[in-house]
C-alpha cells in the first residue's frame, strides 16, 4: 500500500491574497507527518488581485488534480473559491473563513478584510523590539554614536522622568535616546550635529524636583551626594538645562504632576505615525 502511494505525484496549490506564508507553514507542518511521501509538488500563488485570477489558478488546480489550500482575507474571494471547488469537485482547504466567521459571530465585530495583516503585525512587533533595544542602549547618556537614528532625544535634569518616558515610547515602537543634564558634564558636540533630530526638554519647578529627590534619598539611602536634593543646586541645574534646551532647539515639556502617558501623548504628535 505504502509503495503505490509514495510513487504518486501529489500537487498542492497554496493560494493567498497576501504572501501565503500562513498556509505554507501549515502545509509544511502537515507534510512533515508524511516522511515517506516523496513525490510532492507545492506551488504558491501569492497576491491574488481579482476573482478572474483566482479562477485561473483554480482551473489549473482542477487540471492538475491538486489540493488547494487557501488563506484569502477577502470574503468575495473566499465565496468564489468555495463555490468553484464545490462545483468542480476540487479538494479545497480554507484556513481563513471558518475561524473568521466564528470570531465575527462571537464578538459581533466585522473583520477588516485587509490583506497582509500578519506581516504588518510582525513588522510592528520587530520594530517595537528594536526600539526597546535602542532605547535601553541610549538610556541615561550611555551612548552617543548612532544618536541620529533616534526618533527623538529627551534631555533633562535628574528626576524629570526621562527614562520612564523613553521606555513608554519605546514600547510603542519609537527609538528614544535620553541624556541627563549636569552642569559639570558637557553634552558631546556630536549631539549638536543632527539638526533634524527632534529634541524634547523635560523640566519642573525646583521645589517639585527637590521633593522627589529627597524621597529618593530616603528610600535608597543615597550617600556621598549631599547637594543632590539641595534647592540652590537644583536651580543651577535647571538654569543649565534651559541653556541646553535653547542650543538644541528643544520642545520643552513641564512634567510636574503630569503622567508619563500625558507627556508621551504630547511627544507623539511630533513623531512619525507607526500604528
- Is residue 240 packed enough to be buried (19+ CB in 10 Å), middle (13-18) or exposed (0-12)? middle
| 190 annotated to a ligand binding site | no
What whole-number distance in Å separates Cα of residue 54 and Cα of residue 42? 17
Distance in angstroms (rounded) separating the CA atoms of residues 156 and 200 = 8
Q: Is 160 annotated as contributing to ligand binding?
A: yes
List, as one string, the DSSP characters of 204-270: --HHHHHHHHHHHHHHHT--S-TTTT-HHHHHHHHHHHHHHHHHTTPEEEE-TT--HHHHHHHHHTT
Write out the three cell numbers for 103.
470570531
Annotated ligand binding at 162? The verdict is: yes
Is residue 203 annotated as involved in ligand binding? Answer: no
The answer to whether the annotation marks 163 as part of a ligand binding site is yes
Report the alpha-carbon distance of residue 241 to residue 247 in Å, rounded.
Answer: 10
Helix and strand counts by DSSP (H, E) for the chain: 10, 8
Euclidean distance between CA atoms 226 and 229, whole angstroms? 7
Annotated binding residue 158: yes
Rounded to whole angstroms, the Cα distance separating 82 from 5 reads: 27
- Report the Cα–Cα distance between both ends of the chain, in Å, rounded: 54
Cβ neighbours, 10 Å, residue 229: 21
Contacts of 217 (CB under 8 A, 6+ apart): 225, 228, 229
Binding-site annotation: residue ranges for ADP: 156-163
Binding-site annotation: residue ranges: 156-163
Amino acid at each position: 500500500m505504502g509503495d503505490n502511494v509514495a510513487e504518486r505525484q501529489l500537487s498542492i496549490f497554496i493560494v493567498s491574497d497576501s504572501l501565503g506564508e500562513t498556509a505554507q507553514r501549515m502545509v509544511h507542518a502537515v507534510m512533515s507527518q508524511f516522511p515517506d511521501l516523496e513525490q510532492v509538488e507545492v506551488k504558491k500563488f501569492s497576491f491574488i488581485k481579482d476573482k478572474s485570477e483566482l479562477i485561473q489558478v483554480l482551473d489549473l488546480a482542477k487540471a492538475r488534480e491538486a489540493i488547494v489550500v487557501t488563506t484569502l482575507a477577502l470574503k468575495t474571494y473566499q465565496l468564489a473559491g468555495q463555490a468553484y471547488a464545490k462545483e468542480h469537485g476540487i479538494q479545497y482547504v480554507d484556513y481563513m473563513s471558518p475561524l473568521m466567521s466564528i470570531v465575527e459571530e462571537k464578538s459581533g465585530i466585522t473583520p477588516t478584510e485587509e490583506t497582509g495583516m500578519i506581516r504588518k503585525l510582525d513588522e510592528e512587533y520587530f520594530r517595537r523590539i528594536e526600539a526597546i533595544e535602542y532605547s535601553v542602549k541610549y538610556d541615561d547618556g550611555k551612548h552617543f554614536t548612532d544618536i541620529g537614528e533616534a526618533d527623538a532625544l529627551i534631555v533633562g535634569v535628574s528626576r524629570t522622568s526621562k527614562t520612564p518616558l523613553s521606555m513608554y515610547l519605546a514600547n510603542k515602537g519609537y527609538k528614544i535616546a535620553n541624556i541627563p543634564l549636569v552642569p559639570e558634564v558637557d553634552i558631546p558636540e556630536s549631539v549638536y550635529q543632527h539638526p533634524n533630530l527632534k529634541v524634547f526638554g523635560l523640566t519642573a519647578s525646583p521645589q517639585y524636583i527637590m521633593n522627589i529627590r529627597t524621597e529618593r534619598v530616603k528610600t535608597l539611602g543615597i550617600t556621598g551626594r549631599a547637594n543632590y536634593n539641595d534647592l540652590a543646586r537644583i536651580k543651577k541645574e535647571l538654569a543649565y538645562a534651559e541653556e541646553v534646551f535653547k542650543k538644541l532647539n528643544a520642545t520643552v515639556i513641564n512634567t510636574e504632576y503630569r503622567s508619563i502617558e500625558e507627556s508621551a501623548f504630547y511627544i507623539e504628535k511630533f513623531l512619525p505615525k507607526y500604528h
